[in-house]
Amino acid sequence: MKTRTTTGTGLLTLVLAMVWLLPFAAEANQDQALALMKRNQCNKCHTIKAVGFQKDPTLKDDEGDEEEAKDDKEAPDLSGVGKKHDADWMELFLQKREKIKGRKHTRRFKGTPEELTLLTKWLETLKN
């Protein structure tokens, strides 16, 4: 049957592609992590200079929110965040369940738990 052969070949190609792509998984994670950071507007406040991640000036909308305007300026560059915190700690911090100097993070992460894990695991690798 023609369809079945096609499906079989398709699957085989997929498996081969995955095996072949394995060494690039780290980079793929970076792409996904940065996409998540954009989607969650982390780039309103944070930069990651080590990977060329810039703030997005179009996200500035500080009128009437002095607290957030202050946070924009105080937010650290995350290029070396993996030297300070591990992924588990960052997961808690981004859910406002962990503090820095008695202060919780300004934003609670709004994505899925899987996205949070992917993001924090990648942030943990940043040791510049």
User: Residue 10 or residue 111: which is nearer to ligand HEC going by CB?
Assistant: 111
Closest-CA residue to 43 (of 83, 108, 52): 52
Minimum CB distance to ligand HEC, residue 36 (Å) = 7
Q: Taking the CA atoms of the chain, what radius of gyration do you get in angstroms?
A: 19
Q: How many chain residues interact with ligand HEC (CB under 6 A)?
A: 28
d(CA 106, CA 109): 10
Residue 113 sits in the site that holds ligand HEC (CB under 6 A): no
d(CA 120, CA 88): 8
User: Residue 41 or residue 54: which is nearer to ligand HEC going by CB?
Assistant: 41
Residue 109 sits in the site that holds ligand HEC (CB under 6 A): yes
Q: Which residue has the tokens 């915190």?
A: 85
Q: Could you tell me if 127 and 82 are in contact, meaning their C-beta atoms sit under 8 angstroms apart?
A: yes
Minimum CB distance to ligand HEC, residue 80 (Å) = 8
Neighbouring C-beta atoms of residue 15, cutoff 10 Å: 10
Q: In the range 33-72, which residues lie near ligand HEC by CB under 6 A?
A: 37, 40-42, 44-46, 68, 71-72
Q: In the range 71-100, which residues lie near ligand HEC by CB under 6 A?
A: 71-72, 74-76, 78, 81, 84-85, 90, 94, 100
Minimum CB distance to ligand HEC, residue 7 (Å) = 39
